[in-house]
Chain A
Amino acid sequence: MNSPLMESALTDPALLRSSLLQSGCVSVQIRKQSGTNFELDVSVSFPPGITILFGPSGAGKTTLLDCIAGLVQPDAGRIATPEKIFFDSALGIDPPPQARRVGYVFQDLALFPHLSVEDNVKYGISSLAAENRKRRSNAILESFRIAHLRSRRPGEISGGERQRVALARALVIDPQILLLDEPLAALDAATKSRIVDDLRAWNQEHRIPVVYVTHSREEVFALGEQVIVLEDGRQIAQGTPHQVMSAPRSETVAQLAGFENIFDATVTSAHEERGTMTCKLAGTDVELETPLVRADVDSALRVGIRAGDILLASPKPSGLSARNLIAGRIVALVQRDVIVVAKVNCGVEMEVHLTLAARDSLQLQIGRDVWLVIKTHSCHLMGIL
């Protein structure tokens, strides 16, 4: 386990300096075959802050986390933090999970059912002196607002509280990287956002990479500073949520994202009595009527509209039930298989999908002025948690 290389990395100032330059970034290049028809083959890096690992189930997300944590051994490759090599097949380095200091919140949380909340949290720091242990666990219990539950068992607290205990237990060991495997999937939005706030606050101080696995597209937009999309064991896209979801048309990403149109917006007014509100798309004068969500006026959120949910009309229609009628001009018109993809500039560029027959009967072409018709409930609001 104590390879000469690791020791030299700790004592050689040049090596130490070069690793410090990467400032906490965890890099992973691994291959792992499991079964006969699945291979994980990725090369990714996780900078400090939240990185979303997004993809359908079976894409290899949990396997990737298990490899980082040391619970599963990759076939080949390298996993390293600036301070420590977690795995290097060429050098034969593969420390056990105990030696990696990885905070791991499992999908089912894996809280120890026979231990109290406090003992769960203290579990990973049992080698510390009692006084120090007490201080550390108290601090983390406070920052995740579960100090009042300390003597309860996991079976006696709510789902959201259990999430907090799992986070506290994983973070109290002062990990170099935090792995979250769909930790909040089962929670309602309000509970989720409060927990994420506390996690963000914690990470403001500690600045470690947080890898957040999800297959919920809402969470991608809400949480991520960076998104990595996995499919069939490979990364098929990487970038900011916005870049990834509206980036070069990888069909899978589009399918995963579901929304061809994603815009930043601010709430301009809420109409409680009608169950709607008005949002202004960022950088434009375009105002959309959207379903009412719990958001203050002037708060920022994102609007997602599926390209197939938008109608094109010319000339200006009247007598419509749809509440959003926006003027724009066609800037691109491409036939893709049996659908026509139109890009309409109305201050922002909206993608609209039409049939061939619709294109022909409206005589659509580039440069033509059209009206976009969007139903209120076709506007999907995604909070920025």
Chain B
Amino acid sequence: MLVLGTAMREGKTLMDWQAFWLTVRLATLVAAVLVVLGLPIAYWITYSSRRWKFLVEALVSLPIVLPPTVLGFYVLVMLGPRSPLGRSWQAITGHTLAFTFEGLVIGSILYSLPFAVQPFAASFAAVDPRLMAASQTLGVSKFKTFFRIVLPLSISGLVTGVALSFAHTMGEFGVVLMVGGNIPGVTRTVSIDIYDKVQAFNYSGANVTALVLLMISFAVLSTVYALNRRVWVWK
């Protein structure tokens, strides 16, 4: 509390709000994209009977075990002007993807993918398949069944996935450093800022920023667990 009080008095020098809001923007965007992207992937992983499904599952989960620098390195190469993606992006927008906010978004999506897909898939798998069968015999298509039955019954997994990918992106470091570098207002996120402050012996600044990050992460997770305990229990 004392540290926070100090932070409020001295404002900017202790807390880089630009980096903070950039990080929030990044995490929100990534969490939103991961809902759109993660739901179909999780659906496919849950219900597909393809033999090579395990490969996709392993691929999606890779960021959990892969060192962020390794992931970051490959993303950097992928975004660079020598890759097809980097080249076509450059042809369309006129600048490269590396060291931009967009590049950061792409890297973060890959980095946080398992944190969204795994809770989604786990909650889909927990939905009684007979409910889906019932929905189909009642004339409702598989697509509508997903939105009317599967998704409402998976709401806790959905919230968990969104919260985890948000919190995970808030605190990412390795991938950001590799892909985005450290450009204020563009790619400098909170964790980069902490690293910067420590490098410059600004320990009180690092302390405040770290504490803010810690509190946000804790608040997000405790909200998720509280919600999962009380609400959405259909029994």
A155 contact from B133, B134, B139, B234, Cβ within 8 A: B234
Within 8 A of B (CB), among A81-112: 96-104, 106, 108, 110, 112
Compute how far the CA of A125 lies from the CA of B186 in the bound complex, rounded to whole angstroms. Answer: 52
Q: Which of B130, B134, B152 has the most CB of A within 10 A?
A: B134
Compute how far the CA of A98 lies from the CA of B143 in the bound complex, rounded to whole angstroms. Answer: 12
A114 contact from B130, B136, B152, Cβ within 8 A: B152
- In the assembled complex, A169 has its CB within 8 A of some CB on chain B: yes
Within 8 A of A (CB), among B132-167: 133-141, 148-149, 152-153
Classify chain B's interface size: 10 to 19
Compute how far the CA of A154 lies from the CA of B130 in the bound complex, rounded to whole angstroms. Answer: 15
Q: How far is the CB of A88 from chain B (nearest CB, A)?
A: 20
Chain B's closest residue to A108 (CB) is: B130
Chain B's closest residue to A69 (CB) is: B137
B131 pairs with A101, CB closer than 8 A:
no
Q: Which of A112, A123, A173 has the most CB of B within 10 A?
A: A112
- In the assembled complex, A124 has its CB within 8 A of some CB on chain B: yes
- In the assembled complex, B82 has its CB within 8 A of some CB on chain A: no
B133 pairs with A98, CB closer than 8 A:
no
Q: How far is the CB of A186 from chain B (nearest CB, A)?
A: 16
B128 contact from A70, A104, A110, A127, Cβ within 8 A: A110
Q: How far is the CB of A267 from chain B (nearest CB, A)?
A: 41
Q: Which of A69, A71, A127, A154 has the most CB of B within 10 A?
A: A71
Within 8 A of B (CB), among A138-168: 153-155
A104 pairs with B134, CB closer than 8 A:
yes
A106 pairs with B139, CB closer than 8 A:
no
A106 pairs with B235, CB closer than 8 A:
no
A106 pairs with B140, CB closer than 8 A:
no
B131 contacts across to A, CB distance below 8 A: 110, 112
B153 contacts across to A, CB distance below 8 A: 113-114
Compute how far the CA of A102 lies from the CA of B130 in the bound complex, rounded to whole angstroms. Answer: 15
A71 contact from B128, B137, B149, B152, Cβ within 8 A: B137
Compute how far the CA of A170 lies from the CA of B135 in the bound complex, rounded to whole angstroms. Answer: 10
- In the assembled complex, A34 has its CB within 8 A of some CB on chain B: no
A71 pairs with B234, CB closer than 8 A:
no
What are 20 contact pairs spanning A and B, CB under 8 A? Answer: A69-B133, A96-B136, A100-B137, A102-B137, A104-B134, A104-B137, A106-B133, A108-B128, A110-B128, A110-B131, A110-B133, A112-B131, A113-B235, A114-B152, A124-B138, A124-B140, A154-B234, A155-B234, A169-B138, A170-B138
Other 6 A-B pairs with CB < 8 A, given A70-B136, A110-B128: A98-B136, A100-B137, A102-B137, A104-B137, A112-B131, A154-B234
